[in-house]
Structure 1
Amino acid sequence: MASGAGDWSAEQIDDYETLISTTDVELLKRAWRNEKASPEILPFEEALVKRAKEQIQLMEETVDDFAESGHDPLIASLYQMDLDRAQFLLRSYLRVRLQKIEKFMFHIWKMDTYRNRLSIEEEKFTERCIRDIGKHLEETVVSKLPDNYQSVLKQSIISEEDDMVPEPQLDTFIVAKCERATRPLYLDGSRQSASFDSRNDHFQMVPGDLCILRYRPFQEELMSGNISLV
Structure 2
Amino acid sequence: MDTQDDAELDYLQSGPASTSGRSDAEQLKSALMNEKAAPEILQFETDLVNRIEATMDYQDEQIEMLKENDDQKLLVEIFMSELSRIRYLLRAYLRVRLQKCERHVMHILDNADIAARLSEREAQYARDFFVLFGSHMKAAAANHMPEAFSSLVRQAAAHPAKDMVPAPDLDRHVFARVLEDRGNVTVDEEGNVAEFNRGDLFVIRYRAVQQLVAEGAVELV
Are 1:173 and 2:164 an aligned pair?
no
Segment drifting more, 46-55 vs 125-134: 125-134
Matched with 1:218 is 209
Segment drifting more, 214-223 vs 135-144: 135-144
Q: Where do residues 87-166 of structure 1 align in structure 2 (5 Å cutoff)? A: 87-166=87-166
Segment drifting more, 91-100 vs 144-153: 144-153
Segment drifting more, 92-101 vs 10-19: 10-19
Q: Which amino acid aligns with 1:104?
A: H
Q: Which amino acid aligns with 1:212?
A: V
Contact 1:107–1:165, Cα closer than 8 Å, also in 2 = yes
Structure 1: gaps (5+ residues): 1-8, 190-194
Matched with 1:188 is 188
Contact 1:153–1:162, Cα closer than 8 Å, also in 2 = yes
**Deviations for 1:152-201, whole angstroms, at most 9, x for unmatched residues?**
11111122211111100000000001111123112226xxxxx46xxxx3
Segment drifting more, 71-80 vs 109-118: 71-80
3-state DSSP class of the match of 1:188?
coil
Contact 1:56–1:83, Cα closer than 8 Å, also in 2 = yes
Which of 9, 13, 18 is equivalent to 2:5?
13
Segment drifting more, 138-147 vs 44-53: 138-147
1: CA distance, partners of 2:113 / 2:7: 40
Segment drifting more, 174-183 vs 84-93: 174-183
Question: What displacement does 1:136 show?
Answer: 1.7
Matched with 1:65 is 65
TM-score normalized with structure 2 length:
0.90
1: CA distance, partners of 2:155 / 2:26: 45
Q: Which amino acid aligns with 2:78?
A: L
Regions of 4+ moved over 6 Å: none
Question: What displacement does 1:58 show?
Answer: 1.6
Question: What displacement does 1:140 show?
Answer: 2.3
Contact 1:171–1:216, Cα closer than 8 Å, also in 2 = yes
RMSD in angstroms over aligned alpha carbons?
Answer: 1.7
Q: Which amino acid aligns with 1:13?
A: D
Q: Which amino acid aligns with 2:11?
A: L
Contact 2:9–2:79, Cα closer than 8 Å, also in 1 = no
TM-score normalized with structure 1 length:
0.87
Q: Where do residues 3-82 of structure 1 align in structure 2 (5 Å cutoff)? A: 10=2, 12-20=4-12, 21-22=14-15, 23-82=23-82
The alignment covers a number of residue pairs equal to: 213
3-state DSSP class of the match of 1:152?
coil
Question: What displacement does 1:63 show?
Answer: 2.2
1: CA distance, partners of 2:174 / 2:160: 31
Matched with 1:5 is none
Contact 2:39–2:168, Cα closer than 8 Å, also in 1 = yes
Percent identical among aligned pairs is 32
Segment drifting more, 150-159 vs 37-46: 150-159
Question: What displacement does 1:15 show?
Answer: 4.1
Contact 1:182–1:221, Cα closer than 8 Å, also in 2 = no
**Deviations for 1:118-164, whole angstroms, at most 9, x for unmatched residues?**
11111111111111111121122111111211111111112221111
Looking at CA atoms only, which structure, 1 or 2, has the larger radius of gyration? Answer: 1
**Deviations for 1:11-42, whole angstroms, at most 9, x for unmatched residues?**
54344234322300000000010011000000
